């Protein structure tokens, strides 16, 4: 059972089918994450890409807070169906896409203010790095945008390109990546 923690639908519970292969972000970690995002961005004006979206937990948080440019990508048909169904029920503007996330990143052409990735915690460290590489190589982040990767507390992503910081919340961790500041004052 997932709960929306803030925004228009604060407190609403969303029951995903038990057969979906997901591990939703905990409320504690989600609240901490959105406090960080809220302190740096006007959430309602963001464009968001939610990778390995699962049940859509993170997408629903953004939508409940007023974001209307959300793309959710997951490789599991049941997850994408569930996101579409829930988005319709709540009148959320979430564009759900069934795709292998790595293939999607290789061919994506848009750019986003926030890219959130919540891959399975047991993927190889090289796959975590591939997410970072594809996002920056394909210019998928806006200049002031941020890539956030959720992972287990024992995965170390601090050696990857454009790494900024990692925050730990229980067994969860979020690593943040940004484009370097541009030198426009020359």
pLDDT digits 0-9 by tens, 20-47: 777 777 778 888 899 899 888 888 889 9
SS3 at position 37: helix
11 falls within a domain: no
Contacts of residue 105, Cβ cutoff 8 Å, sequence gap at least 6: 51, 131, 134, 135, 138, 140
How many domains, in total, are found in the chain? 1
* C-alpha distance from residue 154 to each of 120, 143, 168 (Å): 13, 30, 10
Tokens 């309602």 correspond to: 44
| pLDDT attached to residue 165 | 95
| Per-residue model confidence as pLDDT tens digits over 134-173 | 999 999 999 999 999 999 889 999 999 999 999 998 888 9
pTM of the model: 0.92
| pLDDT attached to residue 40 | 86
183 falls within a domain: no
186 falls within a domain: no
6 falls within a domain: no
Question: Which residue range(s) make up the domain with 135?
Answer: 31-177
């Amino acid at each position: 059972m997932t709960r929306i923690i803030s925004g228009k639908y604060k407190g609403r519970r969303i029951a995903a089918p038990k057969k979906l292969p997901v591990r939703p972000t905990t409320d504690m970690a989600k609240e901490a994450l959105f406090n960080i995002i809220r302190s740096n961005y006007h959430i309602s004006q963001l464009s968001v890409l939610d990778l390995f979206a699962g049940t859509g937990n993170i997408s629903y948080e953004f939508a409940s807070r007023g974001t209307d440019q959300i793309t959710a990508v997951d490789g599991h048909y049941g997850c994408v169906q569930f996101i579409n169904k829930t988005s319709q029920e709540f009148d959320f503007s979430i564009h759900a896409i069934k795709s292998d996330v790595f293939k999607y990143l290789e061919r994506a052409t848009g750019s986003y203010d926030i890219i959130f990735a919540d891959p399975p915690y047991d993927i190889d460290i090289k796959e975590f790095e591939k997410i970072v590489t594809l996002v920056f190589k394909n210019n998928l982040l806006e200049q002031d945008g941020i890539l956030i990767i959720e992972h287990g507390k024992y995965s170390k992503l601090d050696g990857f390109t454009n790494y900024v910081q990692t925050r730990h919340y229980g067994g969860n961790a979020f690593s943040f990546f940004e484009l370097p500041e541009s030198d426009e004052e020359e």
